Amino acid sequence: MNTNPPSISRRDMLRLLALASAAGAITPQLSNAAESNSPATLHAHTQPQLRMGSEQIAILVYPEFTALDALGPHYPLAGMMGATVRFVAKTLDPVPSEGASKGGFCVKPHMTFADCQENLDLLLVPGGLTGTLAAIEDKETIKFLQSRAAKTKLVGSVCTGSLLLGAAGLLKGRKATSHWQLLEVLKNVGATPVAERIVFDGTDRVTAAGVSAGLDLGFELVRRFRGDFYAKGIQLLGEYDPHPPFPTGGNPRTADKTVVDMLNMMHAPLVERFQEAIAHTKSK
């Protein structure tokens, strides 16, 4: 058994230096090592609060997923040095995000369902609209979620991704959240809806509310994986300090009622489609 402390390359050390700077933890040892011309290495015990890790993380992507649901949490998670964060899909073909045909983009998966390991530290599921509806009724996607969830330490979702988890039977008897317009649909999958931005149920389930909540979830997950200090560094490195133009406009409880009513009217057919998709899955 190798008892030597883990070491990192000079390239990773420079990245660590940036993170340490963001967290206010620059030390002479870090600074001198970074400035040295020699292929220096930095042992993990030198800076215990910025320790290396080995988390195995998979983020599901499927046609027409909402890009920010996946890419928002990807940024802070990928900032954990030593962690492996990969996109997984049915095939290795590029996966179009929502609206890709009208100017969106595609994500190239790192691995297929078949190649994805079972004992993950985190499996994260993004949401979407028509894409999530299709995924809910896709047997292969549901089977993948069920099989990997059995041995994964933490299964999570962003936005309507919780309904996909629910369709796979992974939120039954659990507290969960989703996009505010579809929150009550969680009852149809046996979950208890909670109108919060992030909801943990035990140590193995976490759900985030609509779209932008995925960013908050990403930083919270880093905090839980690596501790407060590490998460503070990544948050500061990314200058995550949101100042939306309408401070109360992102929550249906405080937003302009006419805007809330308009969106509810526009999306009523979509809510019905989600209810029907869930009912159809349960009847199989």
Residue 206 DSSP SS3: strand
Q: 252 in the Ramachandran plot: left (φ > 0), alpha (ψ -120 to 50) or beta?
A: alpha
Exposed/middle/buried for 209, CB within 10 Å: 0-12, 13-18, 19+? buried
Rounded to an integer, what distance in angstroms lies between the CA atom of residue 12 and that of residue 159? Answer: 33
Query: Which one of the listed residues 120, 159, 215, 217 is annotated catalytic?
Result: 159
What is the rounded distance in angstroms from the CA atom of residue 39 to the CA atom of residue 50? 20
For residue 135, give the H/E element and its range: helix 130-136
Query: Is 159 among the catalytic positions?
Result: yes
C-beta of residue 157 within 8 angstroms of C-beta of residue 204: no
Q: Which residues are catalytic, by number?
A: 159
